[in-house]
Amino acid sequence: MGQPLDIAIAGAGIAGLSLAIALAQRGQSVTVYEQSGAITEVGAGLQISPNGSAVLAGLGLGDAALALGMRGTAIELYSHDSDQRVLRLDLTRARHGNPHPYLFLHRADLIGLLKERAEAAGVRVQLDRRIDPAAGIPDGADLLVGADGLHSAVRSVLNGSMAPFFTGQVAWRALVPGDGAAPPVARVWMAPKRHIVAYPLRGGALVNLVAVEERRSWVAEGWFHPDEPDNLREAFAGFPPAVGTLLERCKSVFVWGLFRHQVAGTWHDGRMAILGDAVHPTLPFLAQGANMALEDAWVLAAALAPHGQAVARDDLPAALSRYQAARIKRVTRIVDAAEDNARAYHLQNPAARLALHTGLRVASMVAPGAVLGRFDWLYGADVTRA
Ligand SMILES: Cc1cc2nc3c(=O)[nH]c(=O)nc-3n(C[C@H](O)[C@H](O)[C@H](O)COP(=O)(O)OP(=O)(O)OC[C@H]3O[C@@H](n4cnc5c(N)ncnc54)[C@H](O)[C@@H]3O)c2cc1C
């Protein structure tokens, strides 16, 4: 244990900024480099489940996040061809003793909060600065952490190129005006080969939509490919009126291809490390990408500066190995579970669909606790208590 570490972080997304706060609060010297000239966040919603909001609370941001977001009370599943609810997951009961809330947050609001708190904690944020890890560690830092997202350059240096494969699914995302009266519930309508999720943001002033359709043709991976709202409306024509009403309000939508990535095999080399989407990009079917990034940030900061004291520079490789060992099993399980969820939502065989939906409906009436209990391993985890 010794002198504070000088840590460079590439990327001012959720992973990079939350790591920066956690490290600064543990007395480390931190600079975040962001390639964009401004931290402008795409307009989209995020579900932060109790495992993620536990980290926000650990960083001292629990109340501020709750004030910006909405506390989700339930996730409800519906079939596209019936008004009958298939399943209701009550989100208000603490799981495994984790009392932290399930939140619906606007991404821009969360990023704004993280940036403000990082700077208040003494983190330097340099915009318009793209890090090229192949050229070495910036500004003589002890460690470069790649929080540089899906197309991470730091991951490439550590792992070589890892080709993802197209899952045969595309997703649209859109924000539409809300009527301010929607309950804080995430609703999912499922149909063969497609589903759509809607939940309110900012007190119900907005509704976040994510819609997924299976198709053969390839759409580029990334967040900024605009599409015609009519394509989305056409894909979900015939869904219940509640969906039609939301889609009618859609003025702009983005579409992207969903790719399956391997979890990276090498997370560090002693001088560079990765976290968040740079290590384990995930499909959006469990809403866990940002939650995993928050968990990673806490665990990595704790490995580098246990009890607020930095590990000695010679001990960096061992500390980084402890971080990888603490995280790899859980993130791999989450990434796999997200893929399984897509299959369950999109069942095509009518008999299999009926059997699954009836089973879920009965189970949620007879033993609602047991149904949500299936997610205890996910939502109940609190890395800040480990
Ligand atoms: C539509 C959609 C809905 C989602 N919903 C949810 C949800 O409900 N709940 C949830 O938990 N997750 C959700 N996710 C996933 C979540 O948004 C991501 O997993 C999370 O934002 C990843 O954060 P990150 O910081 O690792 O990466 P990013 O947010 O991608 O940030 C990476 C940053 O690094 C910068 N950068 C890249 N390269 C460099 C470089 N060389 N030098 C400097 N800077 C660089 C980028 O500009 C960017 O700012 C969703 C994703 C999508 C697409």
Predicted structure pTM score: 0.93
pLDDT (0 to 100) of residue 198: 96
pLDDT, mean of residues 339-346: 70
Residue 222 pLDDT > 70, yes or no? no
Residue 225 pLDDT > 90, yes or no? no
Mean pLDDT of the chain: 90
Per-residue pLDDT reduced to its tens digit, 59-99 = 999 999 999 999 999 999 998 887 778 888 888 876 667 89
The angle that helices 107-120 and 14-25 make with each other, rounded to 10 degrees, is 30
Domain boundaries of the chain, sorted by first residue: 6-163+261-346+374-385
**Weakest-pLDDT range from 203-212, 309-318, 343-352:** 343-352
Question: What's the gap between Cα 37 and its chain centre?
Answer: 23
Tokens of 333: 């399980």
Tell me the CA–centroid distance for residue 223 and ligand 1, in Å: 10
Q: What percent of the chain has pLDDT over 90?
A: 69
Q: Would you call 78 a catalytic residue per the annotation? A: no
Catalytic residue, from 33, 102, 199, 345: name it. Answer: 199
pLDDT (0 to 100) of residue 192: 87
pLDDT (0 to 100) of residue 344: 64
- Contact in structure between 269 and 154 (CB atoms under 8 Å): no
pLDDT (0 to 100) of residue 366: 54
CB within 8 Å of 343: residues ≥ 6 apart: none
Per-residue pLDDT reduced to its tens digit, 246-280 = 999 999 999 888 888 899 999 999 999 999 999 99
Tell me the CA–centroid distance for residue 276 and ligand 1, in Å: 8
Per-residue pLDDT reduced to its tens digit, 159-181 = 998 888 888 888 999 999 999 88
**Nearest ligand 1 atom, CA 288:** 11
CB within 8 Å of 184: residues ≥ 6 apart: 70, 71, 72, 73, 104, 199, 200
Residue 359 pLDDT > 90, yes or no? no
Tell me the CA–centroid distance for residue 147 and ligand 1, in Å: 9
pLDDT, mean of residues 145-161: 95
- Residue of 269, 271, 12 whose CA lies nearest to 130: 12
CATH of 6-163+261-346+374-385, picked from 3.40.50.10420, 3.40.50.300, 3.40.50.1820, 3.50.50.60, is 3.50.50.60
Q: What percent of the chain has pLDDT over 70?
A: 88
**Nearest ligand 1 atom, CA 290:** 11
Residue 200 pLDDT > 60, yes or no? yes
